[in-house]
Amino acid sequence: MEKVIVEEVVGGRIPLLGEEFPEIEVNTTQGIIKLPDHYKGKWFILFSHPADFTPVCTTEFVAFQRKYEEFKRMNAELIGLSIDQTFSHIKWIEWIEDKLGVKIEFPVIADDLGNVSLKLGLIHPGKGTNTVRAVFIVDPKGIIRLILYYPQEIGRNIDEIVRALKALQISDRNKVALPANWPDNELIGDKAILPPAMDIETAKERMKMAERGEVECYDWWFCYKRI
């Protein structure tokens, strides 16, 4: 099986930003789910972990669960994944609740045959045959909006995933971009950046808007405002 996985991943293609999330029927700890239809009208965050009963993955599951209510307030759901079997997921989740006092409430995909992982590009031959730590943020229309990949040896920052989801939602609502380290950017704080002017007239209008106090600008191509 390992040889087949390596050959298929090398010849396959990782899904890209802006593409529809592939239609997949998955076995989870909460029954069979059809993605992305199951979450239609909601954002969902699919994250993979290398293996059950491992220390870093355990810390991540606890961290995701502790942010679960915040994700739900943002109309987003969580769904985990690894190539372990369902019974392993269930036993590990029981262990987390029994030993750490944290009840995992989101479903976890049992991809023991590796089919889902292959479609999503989660197995990187240079890092072994387990799934790497990937994150897919998918919008209510089933479009992939953000992808993150971490190696097995580094746990994810869940606050960054929360921040990224908030930023995507604000960007969608207001047609703006968000700066580095938002909402604590070193230059403009928590303000949002207007899309770059694409013609001379718009560039001139941006500077007039700045004169009227409607926006702030370093120059016509770098204007920002509070939202």
How would you classify residue 9: left for phi > 0, otherwise alpha for psi between -120 and 50, otherwise beta? alpha
153's tokens: 């040896």
Q: Is 57 a catalytic residue?
A: yes
Helix (H, G, I), strand (E, B) or coil at 20: strand
Residues paired with residue 109 on neighbouring β-strands, in sequence order: 28, 81
Residue from 147, 152, 115 nearest 132 by CA: 152
Q: Point out the catalytic residue in the list 57, 104, 109, 192.
A: 57
Q: How far apart are CA 198 and CA 202, in angstroms?
A: 7
The radius of gyration of the chain from alpha carbons, rounded to an integer in Å, stands at 20
Which residues are annotated as catalytic? 57
